Amino acid sequence: MTTAPLDDALQIRHAGADLLSLALIDARNHTLRWLAAFDGAAATEPALATADDGASPRWLAGHSGWYQEYWISRHVQRQRGALCDPAATRLASIDGQADALFGPGSLRAAGALTDFDLHAYLEHTVETTLDLLATAASSDDGLYFYRLALLHEDRMGEALAELAAAWQLAPAGARPSPWLPPPTRPARDALWLPAQSLRMGATPGGLVPDNQSGALDVAVPEFEIDALAVSWARFVEFTDDGGYDRHECWSEAGWAWLQTEGRRAPRHVEQLRGGVLLMRQGQLQRVAGGQPVLHVSRYEAEAWCRWAGRRLPTEPEWEIAARAGAARGFVWGDVFEWVAGSARGWPGHRSATGTLDALPAPASQGVLRGASWLTRPRRRDSGARRFAPPARDTMFCGFRSCAL
């Protein structure tokens, strides 16, 4: 089946003005659908009112407009792309409050945006972006910030989805929604893949996210890897065997996190024994055992692996399986997946202006690969990487394992 250009990760990476225009409109409409869900909801639980970094839904949506304005309509060197001077003089914003509300160091809480006409700002910024795109140079430099702005807004949409899962909300008519669950899949045997070489990193050309730039050639010995992300049925075996009480299953950092959090199950889980119950849309819902375990920290993923006598895959192993294993039953894209190792760049990495994945990242950051069932199709790239603290469990994240 042919993938539509709007949903094709490779075509979007190299998108010209016409395809970018359609994608930017699609992304902004997606943002507005999420925003409508939050605007119509009463935030009754302050602890759930913001994302991990303290950002409110209105700030996340507004930052999409500000990012476009800051790097495109206000940036006089935008035509130079990644080689521009990020400190070059900028034009004034259409709203004198915008930098204070959405720029570096801004207040991200909902109360800071009470009197701000967010919908008008979002409408104006995307219209200006599209007007400028119509006359932009068709080179990678000329289209750099437009492609980056699209990636940014798709990321903000995913952050809104994560926050909606915490609030138990969904945009009207949105498909999929946070409580349209990941697919339920029948169990499959693990795959054994032969020793081979792999070049990590994206091929130059088009938009290359910062954490995919550069290249690393790796020789990978043969390995066995799960065909599917670990399911709830497999994870419950760990909890039934006292996994959250067994110090020997946890790293020292993981055990310290567990004691601090008092965690007895993954986030949003209300019951594990006798069937998994999750809180969705304000109601308890029974989860099929064949769905992937969701909202787990890397500490929990590592603990399950130690208990099972297995390990997390390395980045090269995961990518080899994602590229070559589809015909043999390897499935990815249901959840972001924790892998072994820490955040790092590939040799030859070059930081780009305005990047969303700045390197070097803190050594404490872990790595996730793949995508979730809520990731826009155009962001489903087997080479994509995300960095997050090991304790982060608000993302739609799970894991799979390899044989020792």
Q: Quick check: 68 and 129 in contact, CB under 8 A? A: yes
- Please count the other Cβ atoms lying within 10 Å of the Cβ belonging to residue 79: 16
**CA 267 – CA 295 distance, rounded (Å):** 6
Per-residue pLDDT at 299: 98
Per-residue pLDDT at 44: 40
- Please count the other Cβ atoms lying within 10 Å of the Cβ belonging to residue 265: 20
Q: Which of 300, 303, 261 is nearest to 397 (CA)?
A: 300
| H/E element, 224 | strand 223-225
pTM for this model (two decimals): 0.92
| H/E element, 217 | strand 216-220
**CA 335 – CA 184 distance, rounded (Å):** 12
Q: Quick check: 296 and 266 in contact, CB under 8 A? A: yes
Q: Quick check: 6 and 378 in contact, CB under 8 A? A: yes
**What would the DSSP string read from start to end of 78-110?**
GGGGGGS-TTS-BPPPSSTTHHHHHSTT---SG
Kindly report, residue by residue over 325-356, the tens digit of the pLDDT: 888 999 999 999 999 999 998 998 877 888 88
| Strand pairing class (277-280; 283-286) | antiparallel
Q: Which residues of the chain have pLDDT under 70?
A: 1-2, 40-54, 108-111, 167-180, 280-282, 360-361
140-161 burial by CB neighbour count: b if 16+ within 10 A, else e? bebbbbbbbbbbbbbbbbbbbb
**CA 122 – CA 69 distance, rounded (Å):** 10
Longest Cα separation, the chain: 63
Per-residue pLDDT at 319: 97
Q: Which of 60, 149, 96, 74 is nearest to 354 (CA)?
A: 149
Q: Quick check: 322 and 370 in contact, CB under 8 A? A: yes
What's the gap between Cα 106 and its chain centre?
22
